[in-house]
Amino acid sequence: MANQTITITNNVTGESFDFPLRSGSVGPSAADISSLYKEAGIFTYDPGFMSTASCHSAITYIDGEDGILLYRGYPIEQLATKASFLEVAYLLLYGELPVEKELVGFEKMITRHTMLNENLKDFLNGFHYDAHPMAILIGVVGSLSAFYHDSLSVNDARHREISAHRLIAKLPTIAAAAYKHSIGEPIMYPRNDLRYCANFLHMMFATPCEVYKPTLIAEKAMNLLFILHADHEQNASTSTVRLAGSSGANPFACVAAGIASLWGPAHGGANEAVLDMLHEIGDVKNVQRYMEKAKDKDDPFRLMGFGHRVYKNYDPRAKIIREVCHQVLEELADTNNPLFELAMKLEEIALSDEYFVERKLYPNVDFYSGIIYQALGIPRNMFTVMFAVARTVGWVSHWMEMMSDPNNRIGRPRQIYHGPTQRDYLPISKR
């Protein structure tokens, strides 16, 4: 699209301004309005940045209309069914799938960094016993910059890589430690003989007096969930990491900021909201009544885990996770659990009811992930933590991409000011 432009006309003044069109390898083109204020003296207004491209990126591509999700060009359907999580992590970080020697080296590197500094135990013990695990995660991840002064130069490519490896390696250890602290059990050390997902399950559920050996279906489900949640383009938390990183902040602070953004119920807390919804419905006999409530625009009840802000078609991740969800429920869950029976009834109705089908309100990845985590024995307050462990790979990939971009500038959104115009200070006696 070389030399192609778009013209913006100010109908108040009659002035017109030409701006270049930028295009990527796939997807819609973008009008480069970076000089709009300088040339025309106006800003653009785009709440939620729904029509604004904030960066160039070669990591993830989403086509919401056709339900497409690509990691570095690879369809999520292929990666989720054929790759390991660390294989996908390597792909997101470095741009290509690893050959065997590269993958072995990467796995060893990540495994070598899973241990935490022993002094972090004291930090963890400083949190109240019933602190939310996400609160602990934010605090501990942010504190890592106090322990690793040897690799904090954000302008050094090797330092950035080391920090990325440390974050990917240590997040499962920190997450499991946060869970152990919340239930009063001793922290379990990572084991170098276990794969990434199995190691995480070990740290979550083993105790010093009892070995935990995850089933193959549990490890498979965790690997799948981590891959599906590894990245999702310029979402709220990823944009938060990029915005924090644009100031030159260290990567641990940037990822802590991303975790804080992820905690919101409109973002990473959605799968927890699914379980809350199921508990509210309570029983299969109430499903039809709640479905009618969901159709009533004047009723505050909303079906959680159905439809998606980006995907106007079926969430491609949901197609993959649905099959594994049913496998997990069949093998690990109590099939008499009314919660799971209720979830499957909701799924059945949503996939066949004309109202939901017409509006493409299909079950999304959050609907199934919450059910799987519950079946694996992971408590609801840990659901968003699990999301953070997986999404760390995407966050550090975007952070590294941004920091290596010579055109990187500190983020500085504009605003439309609605406050008072200039006025003079009055002494308190005259106000």
Each residue of 391-424: pLDDT tens digit? Answer: 999 999 999 999 999 989 999 999 999 999 999 9
Most confident by average pLDDT, 18-32, 231-245, 310-324: 231-245
Q: Which residues pair with 8 in a beta bridge?
A: 17
Is there a catalytic annotation at residue 150?
Answer: no
Q: What whole-number percentage of the chain has pLDDT above 70? A: 97
For residues 321 and 365, the answer to whether their CB atoms sit within 8 Å is yes
Indicate which residue of 181, 229, 232, 308 is catalytic. Answer: 308
Q: Is the pLDDT of residue 15 over 60?
A: yes
Model confidence at 335, pLDDT cuts 50, 70, 90, reads: low
Q: Is the pLDDT of residue 319 over 90?
A: no
Of 285 and 242, more confident: 242
> Tokens 């084991």 identify what position?
191
Range with lowest mean pLDDT among 75-79, 109-113, 300-304, 335-339: 335-339
pLDDT at 366: 80
- Residue 170, H or E segment: helix 157-183
Range with lowest mean pLDDT among 58-72, 309-323, 342-356: 309-323
How many other C-beta atoms are found inside a 10 Å radius of the C-beta of residue 150? Answer: 9
Of 331 and 176, more confident: 176
Domain ranges of the chain: 5-53, 56-402
- Burial of 211: CB neighbours in 10 Å, binned 0-12, 13-18, 19+: exposed
pLDDT at 134: 95
Token reading at 244? 């924090």
Decide whether 5-53 matches 56-402 in CATH topology.
no
Model confidence at 323, pLDDT cuts 50, 70, 90, reads: confident
Q: Is the pLDDT of residue 58 over 80?
A: yes
Range with lowest mean pLDDT among 41-45, 140-144, 255-259, 267-271: 267-271
pLDDT at 356: 84
Q: CB neighbours of 258 closer than 8 A, spacing ≥ 6? A: 237, 238, 240, 241, 244, 388, 391, 395
CATH no. of 56-402: 1.10.580.10
- Cα 339 to its chain centre, rounded Å, is 26
Give the CA-trace dihedral at 18, 24, 27, 29, to 10 degrees.
0
For range 218-235, the mean pLDDT: 94
Average pLDDT, the chain: 91
Q: Is the pLDDT of residue 269 over 80?
A: no
How far apart (Å, rounded) are the C-alpha atoms in residues 431 and 428? Answer: 5
Q: Is the pLDDT of residue 208 over 90?
A: yes
pLDDT at 334: 62
CATH number of 5-53, picked from 2.40.30.10, 3.40.980.10, 3.40.50.2300, 2.20.28.60: 2.20.28.60
Is there a catalytic annotation at residue 130?
Answer: no
pLDDT at 245: 96
pLDDT at 328: 87
How far apart (Å, rounded) are the C-alpha atoms in residues 408 and 311? Answer: 29
pLDDT at 354: 87
Q: What are the helix and strand counts (H, E) for the chain?
A: 18, 6
How far apart (Å, rounded) are the C-alpha atoms in residues 384 and 387? Answer: 5
Model confidence at 348, pLDDT cuts 50, 70, 90, reads: confident
Of 335 and 349, more confident: 349
Q: Is the pLDDT of residue 26 over 80?
A: yes
Indicate which residue of 159, 231, 315, 366 is catalytic. Answer: 366
Q: What is the DSSP string of 176-235?
A: HHHHHHHHTPPPPPP-TTS-HHHHHHHHHH-BTTB-----HHHHHHHHHHHHHTS--SS-
